[in-house]
Chains A and B, each alone.
Chain A
């Protein structure tokens, strides 16, 4: 029998092995980190989606700042 670890690697195999409730809790932790880093709540733009509308307005990040900021430039 092929093990999940062999097929998809340890990280995903561990995720597969969790109960739905455990996954929900872990996902909630990821949410907290994501939001604390100013992550956008809009889905990633997906040009393959039939719903994709390039003119649609997007929300600001929850912390009001841009999600990615340059903090040091290396002469580029």
Chain B
């Protein structure tokens, strides 16, 4: 769901770690523990690897020590702000088969875009690229769900204006969900840039607020860890 998914969807060329969205159940955690044991993965930060922390929205951070994956970082999450529960994500996933037959189960592009709406600078150019790559690949013959994704998630003013010009009816219908489409339809590029910036600011602020209690809990766990030695 993280950087590796961004590589496969075309937004990034390289990622140093691997992030997994998983089903948060005890049975699934047992399976995950077995897989992580094979990788000789250790938890390297708070919180500890417990279901209750995953269910609250924390990530669990691992480092692998098995020789074929030595030093590799793995992060696991089960709940993300603004993203549906795993039970809804899984049927929407994309499955890719590599040349060696390995299959990769990726969070769907619309879900990945939602997951990337964080407080961090680096996620926003990633969202832009994720949607741009999809747009350029499919704009000649778009499906309804692709048009919807682009209208709701494109962050490139030039492309939003092009999209709104080429597909005025779906644009009109989606203005209620994304008011800046009105500016795209009118070709008002300068105002559109400002509106996109404001949209980003609000999302980042919402993410910061979402993390306030979680960060406080992480800080408490760090202090307890230091205290316990």
- The number of residue pairs between A and B whose CB atoms lie closer than 8 Å in the complex comes to 99
| Shortest CB distance A54–B (Å) | 10
Contact with A along B45-64 (1 / 0, CB 8 A): 11000000000000101010
Contact with A along B114-148 (1 / 0, CB 8 A): 00000111100000010011001101000000000
Tell me what chain B mostly uses at the interface: helix, strand, loop, or mixed: mixed
Known: A2-B162, A31-B14, A50-B119. A41 touches B222 (CB 8 A): no
Could you say which interface size class chain B belongs to? Answer: 35 or more
Q: Which residues of B contact A50 (CB under 8 A)?
A: 119, 211, 214-215, 218
Known: A41-B72, A49-B120. A24 touches B45 (CB 8 A): no
Give the complex CA separation of A49 and B156 in angstroms: 24
A residues near B, CB below 8 A? 1-2, 4, 7-8, 12-13, 15-18, 20-21, 23-27, 30-31, 34, 39-44, 46, 48-51, 53, 55-57, 59-60, 62
B residues near A, CB below 8 A? 7-10, 13-17, 44-46, 59, 61, 63, 70-73, 75, 96-99, 104, 119-122, 129, 132-133, 136-137, 139, 156, 158-159, 162, 211, 214-215, 218, 222, 226
